[in-house]
Structure 1
Amino acid sequence: MRRSHLRIALAALAAAALAVVSPDLAAGAADTGWAPTATDALSLVGATALGSAPASTPLRLTVGLTPRDRAGLDALIKAQSTPGDAAYEQYLTPAQFTDRFAATQAQADAVRSYLQSAGMTNVTVAGNRLQVTADATVAQAQQAFHTTIGRFTQSGRTVLANTAAAQVPTSLAGTVTGVLGLSTLGATVRPQAASLPKLTGFYPDEFPTVYDAKATKAGDGTSLAVIAEGDLTQTVKDLRTYEAKRKLRQVPVSLVYTGIKSTDTAGADEWDLDTQTSTGAAPSTKQLYVYVATSLTNSDLARSINRFVSDDKAQAGSASLGECDVLPFLDGSMTVDDIAFAEAAVQGQTFFASSGDTGSACAVAPTNGVPGAGLPDTEYPASSPYVVGVGGTTLATTDADAYTAEVAWNAGGGGVSPVETPGYWQSGVVPTSAAGLRGVPDVAFDADPTTGALITVDGADEQIGGTSLSSPLALGLWTRLNSSHGGKLGFASPKLYGIYAQAQTTQPLPPTTVPASFHDVVVGTNGAYTALPGYDFTTGLGSWDVNKLNSAIK
């Protein structure tokens, strides 16, 4: 992470976007006995300060632990994706990852003891030793991390935010990456309902026909996962209604709660979209795991992401949620979650995430589907180099659901991350990779609400789009590919970019040669960026002809 080089630019970006502004690292910097973490101070713009947060306010904290040999971890991810290498497709188990790369037991125990000494309860070290979670009060957190926490109203809601950077005792310097949960800010979900009442979209089980996936296995022997939040009771009922209506097998569902069970049902249509789209595209999948967070705060989401990784039960997962890169960069969750996603990659797991629904811009206000509603920025976790960022298209087919064309959806998220660096696989394909800048998205699928999916919500069909659709669709189609290769494909990005890059070096002119396994989207714009031949910041590499991609993957 290039934190020292990017801090000033991020401060300006955040202030103008009504998000968070520059961290005040001067607070406490002169004090002895304290060491910095990746969790900076947050100062909300467009918010009304209500004073200090009450001392007894409960918090759910997630403390990130620094892994060992990060360079070795990245080198192993590359080796696992390089045909001919001894490590090719030899993925680690969670236990092997923990023994080789996680924080040591002594380091984890030191953090646990420190939190317990501060009076915190339910202090637990994650099985992969990448996190320590705890319940605390505002007073305990402020003292333990040498910070202050304020209370604000912003955009009609009351939030907490740490107004000073989080620090740890020097004895823990280099052990703690970030402290999540000092702020109640976090991700949002963004399903887009069609504006017209007429239902003209596709049932999820029709997408394999559209994207030429019918000749591949339908997920046999593999499992997939989605990240959700709140009460999933109706979601499971809607999945069963959809399956019965479409005469599909009932996919076994496991709800894995990663915190306190919540009664929130505000995101029900989102979770319906995620579960029905992913399993509809891969109806023979062995198991659907739903990792259910208590809330969409970054602290709670980090627990769900890490549980998906440390369980290692699903070969692929998806999250149809996100937030402007600047917030997870400043609050430390980007640092914490990137480590978990890197573990997923080295274990042979692939994680997909929506690139956002505000085009090339990213705004704090809920302006989904309105391109340009904010300053240029990409969304996390789609911007993580260890995640496959999925953008959006407008899909055209014949009456028989045969693929005709795609146009870049005008609200599909994409651009250049101001903070994340690219994986080696983007080299030679993404224009900004030579400058060390991560390009988003990686791929794109149907997202326009007017060509979206027909999803069962509260027992009735509703047409829904957005990159909330394209991400679980990519998950379902990748599950088919992985199933067809005996579950050994591992992390998708190196293979996808490898096939794309190979076409550039082995084919004659024109200089941008797109493999037959990809649909090159060359029409449309998402604001600042236009669809062009080859990779672009609207649809990435494009969408897949799944059957041809299945043949191209070695």
Structure 2
Amino acid sequence: MTKQPVSGSSDKIHPDGAKCIGDCDPSEQIEVIVMLRRKDEAGFRQMMSRIDAGDAPGQAVSREEFDRRFTASDEDIDKVKAFAKQYGLSVKRAETETRSVVLKGTIEQFQKAFDVKLERFQHHNIGEYRGRTGPVNVPDEMHDAVTAVLGLDSKPQARPHFRFRPPFKPLRGAAPASFSPVDLAKLYDFPDGDGAGQCIAIIELGGGYRDSDLSAYFSKLGVKAPAVVPVGVDGGKNAPTGNPNGPDGEVTLDIEIAGAIAPGARIAVYFAPNSDAGFVDAVNRALHDATNKPSVISISWGGPESNWSPQSMSAFNDVLQSAAALGVTVCAASGDGGSADGVGDGADHVDFPASSPYVLGCGGTSLAASGAGIAKEVVWNDGDQGGAGGGGVSGTFALPVWQKGLSVTRNGKHIALAKRGVPDVAGDASPQTGYEVLIDGEDTVVGGTSAVAPLWAALIARINAIDASPAGFVNPKLYKAKTAFRDITEGNNGSFSAAAGWDACTGMGSPDGGKIAAALKPAKPSQSAGQQ
């Protein structure tokens, strides 16, 4: 039997500084996800060209048509099942809608099946993980069907983008302030409503929440507690650690921000392992969840594009394209490490998945309020210790149609935008002007772009509830709606500076919620302020 490498699987897969420390236990049981092509790939590409140009409605294709044309074929799934049987692997799950087959077996079986060597690696930042050497190979008769093989390695793929208020004076010397999510919704003039009838999916790669925290928090705010449902993916579950500085902080603040602004929405929290396989599968499962049916997905985790393998990034972006087709808006934090995204090699980096053109990348500001209004709003940059909003130019994704003609101001020079620019939008993110939340029993103030993703997700949920239809892939519409934003023209995130219009620090700016609603639902602008 002859085999060929899966596309993108032979490129760099280990972070700089990773060292091999020995073999894996050959009898260890692991799970691996095989991703498959669509039945009508040509038809899907044609549809995506319309979506990219902004010529498609919020939901470009019905679920029924999507399932008929754009899922995996039974024939391709049968090929993977036959392959698994040949190598003694068991099929744990096989789904046409998510185009995925989950295989289970030993390290030794997977090494033989995919012609790879799996070893233990150590990295100073991420600890010990299972990694592979060599490309992932599949039989010739299966090669065209397989788009990715995820899960052979267990490298932590993403980090949460939140920061607690630090005990130092911020760079700008602004007096610390804090806001409840309800305060910010008012300051940003969000349309009235509570998101009733909608579901917000929140993706989490660790930690958990306590019901006692949520009930105490919403009670204190005087807000009806939303229905919160945990959904386990690939063995992940709601597992609070009791350490607010860890992922519990991310999970809880995501739920509290989204739930405070859209308490009528159902909040479905998808818990998955922190790996490329877990991350991709969590979003894929949320997208095709026939029970909860989310209309918007909030992601506060990510990592520099340079940390992703081409295979993993392509598989993830492919799932995000399906979200755009199905009318599900995906909001993702742009990172808290400024223009370097915390890489430390002296170069500029952007965070993925925020850098995907099918995501609404959410950047950060620092906000000062006066009375019932916003007195001043600048780029979030609290220095090396305090963090800064992520943003810049993708090294991977081509320039989207809706960003053509834009430019960046980098180190004082104006340069035409050549590839996908990040972020698209912004909102309050500085811990010095942060969000009041309750985590592991403690009242605290947090910031980070991870707070901006659920802020925007809740805004989209309120807008979707206006006429019970999805806003869908919002980027093309928002880039045409320049007056729907509060333009941020002061500050920088390192290499990039704010400027009039779009910039690589705060995107189009922070939201004027009523105008955003009118831009996304132009047929019924008079309803942008529905009844509470």
Which range moved further: 201-210 or 116-125?
Answer: 116-125
Determine if the alignment matches structure 1 residue 168 to structure 2 residue 138.
yes
Deviation by residue 1:457-496 (Cα, 9 ceiling, x = unmatched): 1122110001111111111122222222432322211221
**Residue from 263, 284, 287 that aligns with 1:306:** 284
Maintained 8 Å contact 1:231/1:264: yes
1:28-177 alignment runs, 5 A limit: 32-40=2-10, 42-70=13-41, 72-77=43-48, 79=50, 88-155=57-124, 157-177=127-147
1:247 aligns with 2:247: no
> Once the two structures are superposed, what CA deviation does each residue of 1:282-340 show, in whole Å capped at 9, x if it has no partner?
2222x1111111x211111121111011116010011100011123233x221111111
**CA offset at residue 168 of structure 1?**
0.9
**Equivalent position amino acid for 1:398 in 2:** S
SS at match of 1:283: coil
Partner SS for 2:481: helix
Partner secondary structure for residue 417 of structure 1: strand
Q: What is the identity, as a one-letter code, of the residue corresponding to 2:192?
A: T
Once the two structures are overlaid, the 10-residue window that deviates more, 333-342 or 258-267, is: 258-267
**Residue 275, structure 1, aligned to residue 255, structure 2:** yes
Distance 1:390 1:71, change over 3 A: farther
Equivalent residue pairs, number: 494
Return closer, same or farther for 1:435/1:250 CA change in 2, 3 Å cut-off: closer
Cα gap change, 1:36 to 1:223, in 2 (>3 Å): closer
| Residue 378, structure 1, aligned to residue 347, structure 2 | no
Name the SS for the 1:413 alignment partner: coil
**Inter-partner Cα distance in structure 2 for 1:90 and 1:535:** 26
Q: Deviations over 1:121-174 (max 9, x none)?
A: 243123414221122322122111111122122116211111111121111112
Q: Which amino acid aligns with 2:450?
A: S
Say yes or no: does 1:416 pair with 2:393: yes
SS at 2:288's partner residue? helix
Aligned pairs for 1:167-206 within 5 A = 167-185=137-155, 186-196=157-167, 200-206=177-183
Other structure's SS at 2:493 match: coil
1:258 equivalent to 2:238? Answer no
Tell me what 1:212 maps to: 189
Q: Secondary structure at 2:332's aligned position in 1?
A: strand
**Deviation for aligned residue 1:498:** 2.9
Which residue type is aligned with residue 253 of structure 1?
V
Paired AA for residue 229 in structure 1: L
Q: Distance in 2 between matches of 1:246 and 1:120?
A: 51
Report SS of the residue matched to 2:30.
strand
Change (3 A) 1:494 1:106: same
Cα distance change on mapping 1:137 and 1:199 into 2, 3 Å: farther
- Tell me which amino acid in the other structure corresponds to 1:106: E
Aligned with 2:323 (options 334, 344, 351): 344
Of 95-104 and 301-310, more deviation after overlay is shown by 95-104
For normalisation by structure 2, the TM-score amounts to 0.87
Deviations 1:3-61 (A, max 9, x none): xxxxxxxxxxxxxxxxxxxxxxxxxxxx9532433223534432332122221233221
Which residue matches 2:171? none
Larger mean CA deviation between 475-484 and 41-50 belongs to 41-50
The answer to whether residue 449 in structure 2 is matched with residue 461 in structure 1 is no
- 2:378 aligns with 407
Structure 1 range deviating more: 268-277 or 256-265:
256-265
Q: 1:79 Cα deviation (Å)?
A: 4.1
Q: Which amino acid aligns with 1:345?
A: A
- Residue 398 of structure 1 corresponds to which residue in structure 2? 370
- Secondary structure in 2 aligned to 1:179? strand
**Partner SS for 2:25:** coil
2:525 maps to: none
Deviations 1:179-237 (A, max 9, x none): 11122111111320001499831111211111011x43221222211011345352x33
Q: TM-score, normalised by structure 1?
A: 0.83
Question: Which one-letter code corresponds to 2:204 in the other structure?
Answer: A
Counterparts of 1:303 and 1:486, CA distance in 2: 27
Report sequence identity in percent.
Answer: 32
Paired residues of 1:523 and 1:532 also in contact (CA < 8 A): yes
Aligned residue in 1 for 2:530: none
Q: Aligned partners of 1:481 and 1:395: how far apart in 2?
A: 24
List per-residue Cα deviations over 1:328-365 (Å, max 9, x = no partner).
Answer: 233x221111111111111110011111111111345x
Aligned match of 2:275: 297
Q: Distance in 1 between matches of 2:129 and 2:256?
A: 33
Instruction: List alignment gaps of at least 5 residues for structure 1.
Output: 1-30, 365-371, 501-514
Name the aligned partner's letter for residue 116 of structure 1.
Answer: K
Please tell me whether the aligned partners of residues 21 and 122 of structure 2 are also in contact (alpha carbons under 8 angstroms): yes
- Map Cα deviations across residues 364-386 of structure 1 (whole Å, 9 max, x no partner): 5xxxxxxx675311111101111
- Residue equivalent to 1:24: none
- The CA distance in 2 between the partners of 1:196 and 1:109, in whole Å, is 58
Query: Which secondary structure state, in structure 2, belongs to the residue aligned with residue 382 of structure 1?
Result: coil
Residue 318 (str. 1) matches residue 306 (str. 2): no
Task: Report what 1:10 is aligned to.
Answer: none
Retained in 1: the 8 A contact 2:161–2:333? no
1:37 touches 1:179 (CA, 8 Å); kept in 2? no
Q: Of 483, 486, 493, which aligns to 1:526?
A: 493
Matched, 1:232 2:208: yes
- Whichever residue aligns with residue 172 of structure 1, its letter is M
The residue type paired with residue 243 of structure 1 is: F
Find the aligned partners of 1:531 and 1:444 in 2 and give their Cα distance.
12
Check 1:435–1:233 CA distance in 2 against 1; reply closer, same or farther (3 A cut).
Answer: closer
Q: Does 1:539 align with 2:518?
A: no
Q: Is the 8 A contact 1:65 1:103 kept in 2?
A: yes
